[in-house]
Structure formats: C-alpha cells, structure tokens
Structure 1
Amino acid sequence: MSLTKLSISYKCVNSIGNSLNLKEMMEEFLRTFIKQTDAISGSFYVSRVANSCEELISLGKKNLFNIDSVKKRLYKKQIILEEVDTNISLLAYKLQKGCMIFLYSNRSDFNFITSILDSLKNKIEVNIESCINVENLKEQIEEATKENLKKEKQLFEQLKMSQMGELIGNIAHQWRQPLNIISTASSGMQIKKELDILTDEDFKEYTKSIIENANYLSSTIDEFRDYIKDSNKEKEIIVQERLKMATEMLKSSFSIENINIIEEYVEKERLHFKLVLGDLLQVLITIFNNAKEALETKKDLDYKWIKYSLKKTKYTILITIEDNAGGIDESIIDKIFNPYFTTKHQARGTGIGLYSAYGIIVNKLDGKLYVKNTQFGAKFYIELPLNINYII
C-alpha cells in the first residue's frame, strides 16, 4: 500500500468512535471518508429494528438513485457498485445496523475504496452498536425517571392528603370552643329575651362574643383554604405570617398530646419572600409533625416542647424548629432526608415527608435544610436566601 493510501486509511480509522451520539459519530466519519476518497456525496441509513432503514445523515449532492431499490438489493449483497449515469457511479455498502451509500466519479479507484471500507467495517459496526446501546440506555433511564417521578408525585399527593386530614381534625378541635361560645351566647340572648330581661349591655356583650368567635372560625377557614387552594400559586409572602399560620393550624392537635409550642424568637422586621404558599406550609408542617411524632414516643417525659424561631441574618432568613425528644441517632441522622427512609413503622411512615421538604427548600428555593442534635433533641434549620424573588 502506498504512503498516500496508508495516510487515507489512518485518517478514516481515527474518525470513527469519537462520539457516543450516533449521528455525530457517523457524520464525522462520513465527512472524513468523503474528503479522503473524493466522493461526491455520502449517506448513512440506520436500521435500529429489523426490516427498517431510515436516513440519518446525508452529505453532499442530492441522491440521484432510488434508495428503496438499493436497500432491497443490499439484503442479499454486501456491496452494490453500479453506474447512475455516464459520469457517476453508486457504491452501497451494507452494515449490520444499516448501510452507507456514496456517489463517485466513474474514474474512481473502487477497489481501493471498497478495501478501506472492508478494513473499517468491524470498527464502524462496533461503534454503531455502542451508540445505539447508549441511546437505548438513555431511553430506559428516561422511562425509569418518569416512572419514579410519577410514583413520587403520587406519594407527595398522599402526604398532602394525610396532612390535610390531620389539619381537618385540628380545625374540628379548634372550632369546638368558639362554637360552644356562640351557642351559649345565642341561647342566653333567646332566654333573656323570652324572660324580658335582655338589656342593651347584655345584647352588646353577646353579639360581640358571637362576632369575635365567628371571625375566628372564618380565619381558620381562610388558613385551610390558603393551604389547599393556593398550594400551586406563587405569591410574595411575609414569612412571619406563614410561620404563624403553621403553628395555628397545628396547635390543637399538639395540645391534645400535651406538647407546648413555644415561640423562642421572631424577627420584628417583616421578611418578604416570593414562593408557592403551599410549599412553605408543607415544609413547616412536616417538620413540626416530625417533632410531634418523636415526642409522642417519650411517654416518661413530663414537659414536652417544640420551640421555633425566625431570624434575619446577613444573607438569609433562618427558621429553626427544635424539640426535646432526645435527638436523632447519629447513625441515621445523615439519612433522614433520603427518599423512602423512615424510622416509623411501615404502616405509619412512607419516608417521603422530609425528602419532599428537602426538595422544596434546596431545589425550588435555593436554600438549605439540615438538622443537628442539641442537648435537648433535634433542631431543624431552614435557610432561605435574602433579596431573591423566585418564579417556581
């Protein structure tokens, strides 16, 4: 073989397999092969499944041949070499996963060209197979990812429904006292009216009590409506108000378990942040409930508490929630934000609550969520960046 032909072969060999993207890989090879062998044009047809062949790349002049006829004849032959007209010849070369078709001048050295293709055939086929395998693997990963996201979404919905069920129970408990007061006041007015002893002062006192408690009932409805209806609605909020809403929605169920919610410190300056209302409430409720469940296991603990604080630091809005349940085992503290990790009995826990909270704070809000053990128990830290508006 002459040095010129050896150089051509070397350049063609080096143009194969430089990408795992099939189109990119074959385009680089075709460009090199066309240039080095003085081809007029070159095309690659890929066969990903049996009895199918689709054009992936076409370089140079438009095809001057019937591709369907060529593909049919290649099923029985490795190479087709024929004149297209008096000046141009077609060279079709079959591969395991497709074929290459070139147009050349009739004066070309076809023995040399086909000998190069024969020497490159194995490497071309191996790399085509690798590229197709990568494509298939990517498709499988995408399908698996979609399926996992679908399952996660279902679990998140289950979590949300579970939390809503708890909140409905809280609201029912919160409403008992004001409903009793309204009932007592209205009954008192009716009795005094019937006895003709209802004074103007009595009337004012009764109506004031009814209005105050009716307003309280209305506010709890508004809170619950915000949690459900606005859960996917982006708004600028006051962080203090979101924190207060979370504690108000939970305090009844906590008091039943003799758990005290203590405000340790709340920043006086109104802290603005733009986010989805339901997201922040979901995070806060998840962490508060996590602390509540830990405290429920401490039967011998006389005084149970959950302390929260809200502070503005130089760069962040910092929310902390601490309990006195004794802390998290050091062997698992780094795993509690992992998906499906739970220390609860399988019937009670899905392991998705803290994972969901972590995803909201870290991935949606570009913040931080972490936990540390203190001398009393576990302390969760939520850091939100200052002076940034998020469109989620």
Structure 2
Amino acid sequence: MIDKQILKDLTVLYAEDEEAIQNGITETLNLFELNVICAKNGEEGLSIFKSSNKKIDLILTDIKMPKLDGLEMIKKIREIDKDIPVIITTAHQETTFLMQSIELNISAYVLKPIDIYKLQDNLIKAIEPKVLKEQLIEKNKKLQIEIQKNEEKQKVMEIQSRFAAMGEMISMIAHQWRQPLASIGTASFNLKYKLLSGKFDLTTKEGREEQTSFFTNKLDEIEFYVQNLTATIDDFRDFYKTDKIFIDTNIEKPLQNSLKIIQKDLQANNIEVILNHKSKKNIRVCENEITHVFINILKNAKDKFLEKNANDAKIEISTQDLDNSVKIDIYDNGGEIEKENIDFIFEPYFSTKKEKNGTGIGLYMSKIIIENNHNGKIYVSNTKGGVCFSIILESV
C-alpha cells in the first residue's frame, strides 16, 4: 500500500460551482499537502487544464455545474490526456451518471456531503496507479542505463580480449617463424658463400651442373620455408576475422585449427597433447569464436605449466556425443584450482596468474562466447590432480 505522503506536493484541479463547498474542500486538500487549482465550472476547468504551465496530477470535479458540466469537461480532457486520474463528487446517485463515469474511466465516485477521510483514501487510490507507473518508468530508465553501461563494458572487454589474444598470437607467430627464417638465412648465406668463393668450376659442364643443382635445391628450400611462413599468416589472419559466420561442422575442425596455431608453442615447452576424438555429430558454430575459446584454454594451461616448472606436462582433449549435444573436455595435469578461486574463474578481471600478467578477461569472454553466442554451457572442475574445462554445444 502506498503511503499517505504520496499526496504531498501533487497538484489537483478542483472544479466546483458552490463556493462554500469549494472553500471547505480546498482547505481539506491543503491539509493533505496538495496544491489546489480551483475552477468555478467545467468550462473554466477545461481552460485551466489546457493552459496551465504547471503539471496537473489529478482532477476532482463536481458533475452538476453551469456552462459545462463535470462529465463533459472530463470527456474533453480525455481527448488530451487519457490517463489522468479523475474523482467525481456529486449529490446525485443516478445510474446514468454512474454509467457515463465508467465510460470515461473515472477513478472514484464520491457522494456529497463529502467524507474527508474517504476522500483522502479515494485520492490515494486514484493517484496510486499513476505513481506506480511513473516509478516503473523511472526504474526502466535506470535499468536501460545499466544495460547500456554493461554493453559498453562488455565491448571494452571484447576489445581488451582481442588485444590480449593478439599479443599472444604475435608471440606464437614469432616462435613459428623463428625456425623457417633461420633456415632461409642459412640457405641464402650458403648460396652467397658458394657464389663468391668460386667453389664451382664454371669452365666445365660438371661444374655448371653442380652449381645449378646446388642453387636449385637451396631455392627450393627457401620456397618451402616461404610457403610455411605464408601458411602461418593465413592461419592467424583467419583467426582474426571479425565477421560472425555460423557454419555446421564437426567439432574436430575448430579443434584442429586451434592446435595448428598453438601446437608448436606447446611442443617448444615440452607439453604433450593427447586428442581423443569420438564425436560424430555436427554443431552450428562461429569457427573463429570457438577457436578463440580453445586457444585461450590451451594457452592458460601452458602458462600454468611454465609457472610451476611442471614435468610430464600433458593436455588431454576428448570429444563425445550426448543426446542432443556435443561435449568437449580439455584436461591438464598442471595442478588444481584453489577451492576459494574456482567459483570466480569466469568472473571478469579475475586472474590466478601469480605474475599478474593475465588480463582476467579470457575465460570471461570464453563464457560469453559459449553461453551467450552459442547457447551452450562451459564449466570447470578439479579432477585427477588437474583441471578440466568442459564445454557442451547443441548438435544440429
């Protein structure tokens, strides 16, 4: 129930042709802390309503008045404002008046002489829906502001996640390029050395053939390594495509794409990857986003191994078909997550990395991608002295 204070400072348009009644009721309304604008008849009341620069919250009107009666005044006001609360006062109990007042959406019908206590209750009941509506509108506005803030916050997180992933990818590219670039450097040095040192006797056919064979082999090597570098660029470029194109595919494809990008980084740190693929069903996914999730989980596992200087580091990836979905488990034996942390692992800006070089948004964005963008589930559990991330995606 709304408090009586709800009437405080509201403005009432009060139309009554009998001056004594109007003065008495106006005094009472002032006691209720209402602001009162008085009219002597319906015509004056309508004119005040149209011209008033002050917000009128409620109308209290007699029915029988000269020039324009109360019902006709309300009928014309309803053409301007369909929702303003209206209370009618009258000395009559005619059915005709009652039916007309119902058609005009009258909030209350008060008989004269007016009982001021009932009048107060009627005023509260009349204004209550309007106040509740205004409160709801205000709450909705605040809610929309909060939603907008959250959307903006999420966009910032997405950008931060992209930049963080980009830094990691550049590191991986550098690692994958190091060996081909070294091989290209070695091949070009050998070519240059052989050419300048005069190791080939170009005055003989055998010498020229030997030179041709040597140069051809070295150029073939350089071409092979250049193709390797180009393939790496293509892999990473595809990963960073921003268009969300959903395709029907087996989960093995985005898994293999993820491993293709991060495999050498894992191998360089002596991390064994065991893939146990049993799923046969197709799922509808945005490949780039799912690849992002897999790489993030694998990268976190690698960082944990390095932080703990783990021996016999191992990541096991398994897939299986459920009734209407596909389940992916990614397990690592790098130690369990502390019990006090496991419930917060998907929270934004939460990181367990001791060196504090983690952004704390990777797993949060992974959860958004799986649950919001793919209508799936992702959760984490401690098992077998390590951690298992489980992802469930609907099959098609």
Q: Counterpart in 2 of 1:143?
A: 145
Q: Counterpart in 1 of 2:347?
A: 338
How many Å separate the matches in 1 of 2:282 and 2:334?
A: 32
How many Å separate the matches in 2 of 1:223 and 1:275?
A: 18
Distance verdict in 2 for CA 1:88–1:147, change over 3 Å: closer
Q: Counterpart in 2 of 1:112?
A: 111
* SS of equivalent to 2:226: helix
2:235 to 207, 211, 223: 223
Superposed, which structure 2 residues align to 1:218-297 within 5 Å?
218-230=230-242, 232-237=244-249, 239-256=251-268, 258-267=269-278, 272-297=282-307
How many Å separate the matches in 2 of 1:190 and 1:79?
A: 103
Conserved in 1, the CA contact under 8 Å of 2:184 and 2:225? yes
Number of equivalenced pairs: 321
2:73 to 90, 111, 115: 90
Q: Counterpart in 1 of 2:326?
A: 317
TM-score with structure 1 length normalisation? 0.68
Deviation at 1:213, TM superposition (A): 1.5
Conserved in 2, the CA contact under 8 Å of 1:182 and 1:210? yes
Q: Show CA shifts across 1:40-92 (max 9, x none).
A: xxxxxxxxxxxxxxxxxxxxxxxx96575364699699645555669963257
Deviation at 1:348, TM superposition (A): 2.9
What is the percent sequence identity of the aligned residues?
26
> Which of the pair is proportionally richer in helix?
2
Q: Counterpart in 1 of 2:26?
A: none
Q: Counterpart in 2 of 1:123?
A: 125
Q: Counterpart in 2 of 1:372?
A: 381
Conserved in 2, the CA contact under 8 Å of 1:230 and 1:276? no
How many Å separate the matches in 1 of 2:282 and 2:97?
A: 75
Deviation at 1:175, TM superposition (A): 0.5
How many Å separate the matches in 2 of 1:114 and 1:277?
A: 77
Conserved in 1, the CA contact under 8 Å of 2:161 and 2:365? no
Looking at CA atoms only, which structure, 1 or 2, has the larger radius of gyration?
2
Deviation at 1:385, TM superposition (A): 2.0
Segment drifting more, 354-363 vs 230-239: 230-239
Q: Counterpart in 1 of 2:40?
A: none
How many Å separate the matches in 1 of 2:176 and 2:352?
A: 30
Deviation at 1:132, TM superposition (A): 1.6
Q: Counterpart in 1 of 2:14?
A: none
TM-score with structure 2 length normalisation? 0.67
* Gap regions ≥5 residues in structure 2: 3-44, 99-108, 201-206
1:327 to 333, 336, 340: 336
* SS of equivalent to 2:381: strand
How many Å separate the matches in 1 of 2:288 and 2:336?
A: 28
Superposed, which structure 2 residues align to 1:58-207 within 5 Å?
68-69=49-50, 71=52, 79=60, 82=65, 89-91=72-74, 100=86, 108=97, 112=111, 119-193=121-195, 195=198, 196=200, 197=207, 198-207=210-219
Q: Counterpart in 2 of 1:34?
A: none
Conserved in 2, the CA contact under 8 Å of 1:317 and 1:384? yes
Deviation at 1:204, TM superposition (A): 4.1
Segment drifting more, 166-175 vs 312-321: 312-321
Letter in 2 for 1:184: T
Deviation at 1:234, TM superposition (A): 3.5
Distance verdict in 2 for CA 1:249–1:71, change over 3 Å: same
How many Å separate the matches in 2 of 1:98 and 1:179?
A: 79
How many Å separate the matches in 1 of 2:322 and 2:384?
A: 24
Q: Counterpart in 1 of 2:360?
A: 351
How many Å separate the matches in 2 of 1:374 and 1:356?
A: 24
Q: Counterpart in 2 of 1:29?
A: none
1:214 to 198, 216, 226: 226
The alignment's C-alpha RMSD in Å is: 4.0
* SS of equivalent to 1:337: coil
Superposed, which structure 2 residues align to 1:15-94 within 5 Å?
68-69=49-50, 71=52, 79=60, 82=65, 89-91=72-74
Letter in 2 for 1:89: E
* SS of equivalent to 2:389: strand
